[in-house]
Amino acid sequence: MTDSSPLYDALVLGAGAAGLLCAARAAERGKRVLVLEKNNKAAVKVLMSGGTRCNLTHDASPGDIADAYARLAGGAEGKAKARWLRPALARLTPDALIALFAAEGLATKIESTGKVFPESDRALDVQRALLRMVASSGAEVALGEAALSVERSAGGFVVATSRRTLRARNVVVAVGGRSWPGCGTTGDGYAWAKALGHRVVPPRPALVPLTSTERWALDLQGVTLSDVRLRLIEGERGDVRIDRRGSLLFTHFGLSGPVAMDCSRFVTQRPDAIQWRAVLDLAPSVGEEQLQERLAERGGQTVLSLLGEVVPRRVAEATLGQAGVPLERRLAELSRAQRRATVDAVKRPTLRLAGSLGFKKAEVTAGGVDLDEVDPRTCQSRLVPGLYFIGEVLDLDGPIGGYNFQAAFSTAALAGDSVA
């Protein structure tokens, strides 16, 4: 390195959703900014997300977004995450984010679930809008140039890349976590954070499909139920860790869909996943007493015929078979135990969980840089002045539905507006 080495106001490590927006915000303030990206293409994860549609936020207030984080994690952990995130959400709200993209010519739409997508249903249009923001801001982007190390120096930082050595007053770590490693998110940011004195909460997959060896569930491969209640039960005592309601997909390996993926962060928290069970309510809009009344009133109807009115026939066959109830037996002929088992076949079929599909199929990472060591008012390190952490590299994971992108964009805006 020589004295002629360029001195940037900020080096942003990672050209994902968070990194690009942060760079644009900082450069718009007159800062000299360079974004380093190991991939030959920017925002690779944006292009893959939402089935290549990119669910970029959720139709909710900032408070509702924060509350969703609190509910997902639960307890003191959830409250702490929500409290930490609120300043960032106040800086860039969901409405403000939508307006930001609209100013770049990207129209959006709100689906019935509250998810916000580009009107075109093309993640490519989100990526292009981000790149336009960066280009108009004056920030530079270096693709195919990986940051290898980050070290403190007099007056700032020295960053060694695969091509050169760079100096900067500030460094923003925006390289994501470990989910979807094919996008280049291989956990680089954790090593830099640790080297600079930060604690990293052990990363684990989140928003990831769950695996099971229960034959009745695997035989339902391809079946989707739009409204299912899932309670995640831990250990022999049957402690309920999370209770969620939403769409569920049965797969050849276990369970997927929003309701299963929201619950996954708890399963991946412990290696002894064999202790986890999923208790399902396959028809939460049908009360248990209502179902009991139907059993009593329709004595001439078969068990399968009745349950086929409540859940898809294929599902009724699988759960009744698991419960040991004869499918063609008339309701009037059922014993008390069989009537109970018939109700349970809809309201509480249970399957043991074996684990998850891991980081390779996880949409986000739970764990990351400890939030206690990052100032929520700026996203700057409390330990190292001039060092910022944004997006998924933080110990901050939310539910499915655009919440994680919103957190990434909001923390990016906050850091971009704060770098000196």
Q: Which of 356, 372, 397 is the last residue of a domain?
A: 356
> Is residue 27 assigned to a domain?
yes
The pLDDT value recorded for residue 1 is 41
CA 162 from centre of chain: 30
**Final residue before a domain boundary, out of 356, 377, 400:** 356
Asked if residue 24 lies in contact with residue 139, where contact means CB atoms within 8 angstroms, the answer is yes
Of 151, 180, 161, residue with least CA distance to 404 = 180
Residue where a domain terminates, one of 356, 379, 395 = 356
**Do 33 and 123 lie in a common domain?**
yes
- Same-domain check for residues 340 and 252: yes
- Give a three-class secondary structure readout of 167-220: EEEEEEECCCCCCCHHHCCCCHHHHHHHHCCCCEEEEEEECCCEECCCHHHHCC
Looking at the fold, whether 226 and 301 belong to one and the same domain comes out as yes
CATH code at 119? 3.50.50.60
Please report the pLDDT score of residue 249 as a whole number.
Answer: 98
Asked, for residue 2, whether it belongs to a domain, the answer is no
* Residue 1 included in any domain: no
Spatial contact of 209 and 251, defined as CB atoms under 8 Å apart: yes
In a domain, 192, yes or no: yes
**Bridge pairing between strands 156-161 and 147-153:** antiparallel
366 and 293 part of one domain: no
Per-residue pLDDT at 5: 67
- The answer to whether position 14 is within a domain reads yes
Ordered per-residue pLDDT tens for the chain, 420 residues: 444 567 999 999 999 999 999 999 999 999 999 999 999 999 999 999 999 999 999 999 999 999 999 999 999 999 999 999 999 999 999 999 999 999 999 999 999 999 999 999 999 999 999 999 999 999 999 999 999 999 999 999 999 999 999 999 999 999 999 999 989 899 999 999 999 999 999 999 999 999 999 999 999 999 999 999 999 999 888 899 999 999 999 999 999 999 999 999 999 998 777 789 999 999 999 999 999 999 999 999 999 999 999 999 999 999 999 999 999 999 999 999 999 999 999 999 999 999 999 999 999 999 999 999 999 999 999 999 999 999 999 999 999 999 999 999 999 999 999 999
Q: Which domain holds residue 256?
A: 210-356
Whole-angstrom distance, CA of residue 345 vs CA of residue 323? 6
In-domain check, residue 174: yes
Structural domain contains residue 241: yes
Same domain (yes/no): 258, 315: yes
Residues 178 and 214 in one domain: no
**Domain shared by 75 and 187, yes or no:** yes
Number of domains in the chain: 2
**Could you tell me if 226 and 285 lie in one domain?**
yes
Residue 373 within any structural domain of the chain: yes
Angle at Cα 330 formed by Cα 348 and Cα 339, nearest 5°?
Answer: 30
Closest CA to 252 of 221, 290, 283, 291: 221
* Pair (45, 99) in one structural domain: yes
Q: Are residues 91 and 201 in the same domain?
A: yes
Distance (Å, whole) CA 231 – CA 350: 10
